[in-house]
Amino acid sequence: MFTEPYSTQERKGWIEVICGSMFSGKTEELIRRLRRAEIAQRKINIFKPRMDVRYHATNIVSHNANNVASIPISHSSEILLMISDVDVVAIDEAQFFDEGLVEVVQALAAKGIRVIVAGLDMDYLGQPFGPMPLLLAAAEYVTKLHAICMVCGDNASHSFRTVADPKQLLLGETEAYQARCRKCFVLGMARATTTDPFPSL
């Protein structure tokens, strides 16, 4: 379990990245850290992609229905324009943002701000997703969470798409995705390229 390494009152900024597949609890962990920051009376700004309206237009919402208010934005550059005198900046669904997000979080950390970023590290093809690889490289602290494979019950680190849509960006939940372990993901992808394009396994 992640705990803050030192007080943000020292104004030493850093970057934390929470990553993993769909249904792994990334947003839940983000909210948990924000609750702790609130208890410590830290000033917080929270951002999410404007395009992500699956659960709520403004709040970030976990699969367990926990939620906190956030600011929807269309481009990472908006973050620097909107922050005030804050100790913590949180960003959910970071994979949907532009590559400029990396420079933004670096700038925030340089200002002495604790930055918490959550997002998918891989897309439905198992490829690095958006700015996440560079964010992982830049972060001082990385937490990779695992879901439960919906085929075999093992630890899952992949998001397998079950609907026929080739776009990388496809908002969806259990109707469009399954969490899968490496073996079940590879088997499913192999079958998708041979017989049944979107099999149950």
Which are the catalytic amino acids? 93
CA 109 to chain centre: 18
What one-character DSSP code corresponds to residue 114? E
Helix ranges (DSSP H) in the chain: 26-39, 77-82, 101-110, 132-138, 182-192
CB contact at 8 A, 177 and 22: yes
88-91 and 44-49 beta bridge pairing: parallel
Q: How many CB atoms lie within 10 A of CB 138?
A: 17
Nearest-angstrom CA–CA distance, 191 and 183: 12
Nearest-angstrom CA–CA distance, 50 and 62: 16
Closest of 85, 3, 6, 7 to residue 43, by C-alpha: 85
Nearest-angstrom CA–CA distance, 13 and 15: 7
CB contact at 8 A, 60 and 91: no
